[in-house]
Amino acid sequence: MGKGISRGIALLSVLSMVFLAACGGGNSADKGGKGELAEKQEITLGNIPSEPPGLDPLDAKDSVSGDILSQTMVGLTKMDKKGEPIPGIAEKWDANEDMTQITFHLRDAQWSNGDPVTAEDFEYAWKRMLDPKNGAVYAYQLFYLKNGEKYNKGKAKADEVGVKAVDEKTLEVTLEQPTPYFLSLTTFYSLKPVPKKVVEANKDWASEADSYVCNGPFKVKSWKHDAKIVLEKNDKYYDADKVKLTQINLPFIADQKTGYQMFQTGDVDSSNSNIVPTDLTKKLLDSGEAKGVPQIATYTVEFNTKKKPFNNKKVRKAFSMAIDRKQIVENVLEGGQEPANGWVPWGMPDFAAGKDFAEVHGKYIEPTPQPDEAKKLLAEGLKEEGLKKMPEMTYLYNTDDGHKKIAEALQQMWKENLGVDIKLGNVEWKVFLERKTAGDFDLVRFGWLPDYIDPMTFMDVYMTDSGNNDPKFSNKKYDELIKKAKSTADQKVRMQALHEAEDLLMDEMPTAPLYWYTRVYMDKDYVKNVYRAIDGSVFYEEAYLTEK
Amino acid sequence: MLRYVGKRLVLMLVSLWLIASLTFVLMHSIPGDPFTSEKKLPKQTLENLKAKYGLDKPLPAQYVQYMGNLVKFDLGISIKSTTRTVNDILEEGFPVSAHLGIQSILVALAAGIVMGMIAASRQNQLSDYFLMVLAVIGLSVPAFVLAPLFQKYFGMKWNLLPVWGWGEFDKTILPSIVLAFSPLALVTRLTRSSMLEVIGQDYIRTARAKGLPPIRVMSRHTLRNAIIPVVTIMGPLTAAILTGSFVVEQIFAIPGLGKYFVESITNRDYPVIMGVTIFYSAFLIVMNFLVDLLYGWIDPRIKLGGKEAG
């Protein structure tokens, strides 16, 4: 293993321990239940709201598919309880100093049909993901590979892509540039392998239980479309000894209240927030029936920086200062969220400091409003733009009760603390996205979840040429800092550049972060050892049930 | 009769083609496409995706291709659930929705007609008022309020019936009743008012005068004539029940087709939008046709073909 990686992992361990100690780690509490292992190790989860779009890593593009794939497929690495990539199908790996060449050494592992999991399965799966003909949504997760993007654009051949099975057990990966978080990426479902032989023989292999072949702790026993998936323990799994659950039932429950009632009647044993009715969240959290874990994600208000007066940073800052984040979190959301004090949320590691990135950067934003200063800044900003008063502006959000409540609270806060009337505009989801992308908005809501565990996944959103930079924020210095962080594997240099970039971003304030997410979940007392990772994945590999 | 049926069949096909074409145009004119997402995809990925689903071609070419496939009953593959064809979705989802729908219609018809008859025969008495109040409640309380209430009491409090799922008969009871509630109220009111109208007719008085028992007068003479308005609403009623099953299916976690009606539009899943719309349209057009045929059977005075008997 390369030095850089070892150091990163060591630091991440420290960080994660601190983080887990602070938040309870998201594992099921060990209290309750009789403590003895239950005879019947069959669990019913309320996690799945609908038919999964695809159980082939190529087709998986959503959390529903991801939730199931977390149980059925294992990639080169797995995310451990501390959020680090640890050996999965890859037993160990070596990397060069700048983290551009990684050689993965695979363990003896089998597919559920008994075939060995080979390096070729990985090479095949990744090239298949990048093949332009296959139109994979997450192909860009492999653009880190040498010539990955070029191949996807039809400008390079498959042979030129930086992934090669040297032999059955050795996979050689060459990256375009230093990517210290590539190992973390290999836990993601798009980078999981597929059984080459099976896929080539049957292109519909992943659409029915009978033909589905996987390599994880559980395999698909039955799949009744639109109704239910049943998983059973996969005896061919390399770590099968650790797996105690014999069966996982996954009924598709679209309605939150139904899920909640099923939990109450004992039809569901464990679930995440999709069975916690929004109006009961606070009550259930207070009573301890539901629990919350921090989730790495930020909810924010973006300003259209190309539009007067939001092209003026004083006006943007004034709007941000007028927001009472504490009130939004405590009285509007009531789900244990944290008022955001910066763009990079809690839970994201600073690999150089061995702490939370947000802890290192300190507080950019106050949780309570500062109306006097906000009004002063607004007046100055408007004057600089040659305006006498604030023109008519609209806050755009998509149809959803939660977004509506926040929008109404913001409207009231801007009125009270800034003396400004902002209109509310509510549109359907896809219309919302189209308008946001087209820059057809004044102020707009935005929520960002990470693609991988590194602050970069938040910071590069606001680079000038980023596809997700809807406020059209453009700052040369900012771009340079991000580019600097992207060009090296030295964590100290990277983290320093990212912190400086965030300083700049929060000073320019094209985006006014409101809060950091939590994930609320409910487990029966007898459900133990469920692991809820910091990126939102839930793993039942080591979960078990005690006697009720 | 044959000529009438032939003419109707041609009309049905033309209607279907018009619906399909209109849906195709409307669907492509609303903002957003299947790949619009919060996390923007790289341009190349978008192009690859569009090419994969043939959405890179000009719209007229896509239309011609779709219609060509439609004639072969090939409705394409869902863009959201890439492993499922629209035909699969219809084949698996429709029987469930139809089962739920038919059961609900039967509940609505049976209970509605009986309640309507009782109300009519006891006009302005306490039971009439009670049933009418019940009908007003049935029409005004939406399924999304009724369903959780039923779940709470029948499922959680009294532990009588399962509150979710599909497969066994007991799982179908609560959703069928919830779905039947509003049409039941409608049928009750319709039956009552048309019964009252018929009861006042001379031939009923004659039947009574001849000494026929009241139950016979009611079932053979009154009901047969009073049922026509109920039959008239059967077409739209079936439509309402089938397309309105979305909420009920969602709340009771029933694997029906209802949700695709709404979800496919939210997802801009073009093949599913087209498939489900065409399928439901065809179904409703056929239902309306059958209702028209039924008129003639119930009331021979109604001649098919549009010419009134003298």
Domains and CATH numbers, chain A: 42-249+524-545 (3.90.76.10), 291-519 (3.10.105.10)
Burial environment of residue B310 by CB neighbours within 10 A (0 to 12, 13 to 18, 19 or more): exposed
B chain contacts of residue A156, beta-carbon cutoff 8 Å: none
Q: What are B205-246's pLDDT values in tens digits?
A: 888 888 888 888 877 778 877 888 888 787 778 877 877 788
Element (H, E) at B205: helix B202-209
**How many helical (H) and strand (E) elements, i.e. helices and strands, does chain B have?**
15, 0
| C-alpha–C-alpha distance, residues B246 and B14, integer Å | 28
How many Å is the Cα radius of gyration of chain A? Answer: 24
Q: A463 at the B interface (CB within 8 A)? A: no
Q: Are A198 and A212 in contact (CB under 8 A)?
A: no
Closest CA to A58 of A193, A222, A196: A193
Q: Do B31 and A430 touch (CB under 8 A)?
A: yes
Interface test with B, best of A188, A258, A434 (most B CBs within 10 A): A258
The type of residue at A473 is F
Name the residue among B237, B83, B67 with its Cα closest to residue A51: B83
Of B113, B112, B131, which Cα lies nearest the Cα of B122?
A: B131
Distance from CA of A167 to the nearest CA of B (A): 31
Name the residue among B211, B15, B299 with its Cα closest to residue B308: B299
A267/B49 touch (CB, cutoff 8 Å), yes or no:
no
B90-298 fold: MetI-like fold (1.10.3720)
User: Number of CB pairs < 8 Å for A and B?
Assistant: 138
Contact list in B for residue A153 (CB cut-off 8 A) is 44
What confidence tens digit (pLDDT) does each residue in B150-178 have? 998 998 888 899 888 898 999 999 999 99
Helix or strand holding residue B204 (H, E): helix B202-209
* Two structure tokens written together for A406: 């926040």
Which backbone phi and psi does A468 adopt, to 5 degrees? -100, 5
Angle of CA points A375, A380, A384, to nearest 5° = 145
pLDDT tens for B279-301 read 989 988 988 888 888 877 777 77
| Predicted confidence (pLDDT) per residue in B23-63, tens digit | 999 999 999 999 988 888 888 889 999 998 999 999 999 99
Q: Are A36 and A505 spatial neighbours (Cβ–Cβ below 8 Å)? A: no
Tell which A residues from 236 to 295 touch B, by Cβ distance under 8 Å: 251-255, 257-258, 261-262, 264-265, 267
8 Å CB contact of A225 and B39? no
Under 8 Å CB-to-CB from B31, ≥6 apart: which residues?
Answer: A430, A431, A434, A435
Gap between the Cα atoms of A66 and A55, Å rounded: 8
Are residues B88 and A255, on separate chains, in Cβ contact within 8 Å?
Answer: no
Q: Given this model, what pLDDT does residue A34 score?
A: 58
Inter-chain contact B48–A264, Cβ cutoff 8 Å? Answer: no
Low-confidence spans in chain A with pLDDT less than 50 = 1-32
Half-sphere exposure of B299 toward its Cβ, with a 13 Å CA cutoff?
20
How do beta strands A218-224 and A228-233 pair? antiparallel
Average pLDDT, chain B: 88
Chain B contact present for A91, CB below 8 A:
no
pTM of the predicted model as reported, rounded to 2 decimal places: 0.87
Q: Which of residues 143 through 162 in chain A touch B, CB cutoff 8 A?
A: 143, 149, 152-153
- Contact between residue B117 and residue B195 where contact means Cβ atoms under 8 Å apart: yes
Tokens of B33: 């496409």
Task: Tell me which residue in B49, B255, B259 faces A137 most closely, judged by beta carbons.
Answer: B49
CA neighbours closer than 13 Å in the CB half-sphere of residue A135: 16
Considering only the beta carbons, identify the residue of B35, B92, B253 that sits closest to A252: B253
Rounded distance, CA A428 to CA A92, Å? 47
**Contact (CB<8Å) B166/A254:** no
Q: From the list B35, B82, B268, which residue is nearest A53 (CB)?
A: B82
CB contact under 8 A, A258 and B38: no
CA distance A234 to A214: 9
Q: Is B31 helix (H, G, I), strand (E, B) or coil?
A: coil
Give pLDDT, residue A81: 66
Q: SS3 of B214, please?
A: helix
Distance from CA of B40 to the nearest CA of A (A): 6
Which residues of chain B lie closer than 8 angstroms to A472, CB-CB?
none
Helix (H) or strand (E) holding A230: strand A228-233
- Confidence bin at B202 (pLDDT 50/70/90): confident
The pLDDT of residue A460 is 94
Confidence of residue B203 (pLDDT cuts 50, 70, 90): confident
Tokens of B229: 């308005």
Contact A251 B165 (CB under 8 A): yes
Q: In this structure, are residues A187 and A141 in contact, taking their beta carbons and an 8 Å threshold?
A: no
Q: Nearest-CA residue of chain A relative to B158?
A: A265
**pLDDT 10s digits, B63-94:** 999 999 999 999 999 999 888 899 999 999 99
Distance CA B218, CA B196 (A): 11
Q: Could you tell me if A133 lies within 8 Å of chain B, comparing CB atoms?
A: yes
Per-residue confidence band for B304, with pLDDT thresholds at 50, 70 and 90? low
Torsion of CA A90, A134, A533, A46, to 10 degrees: -130
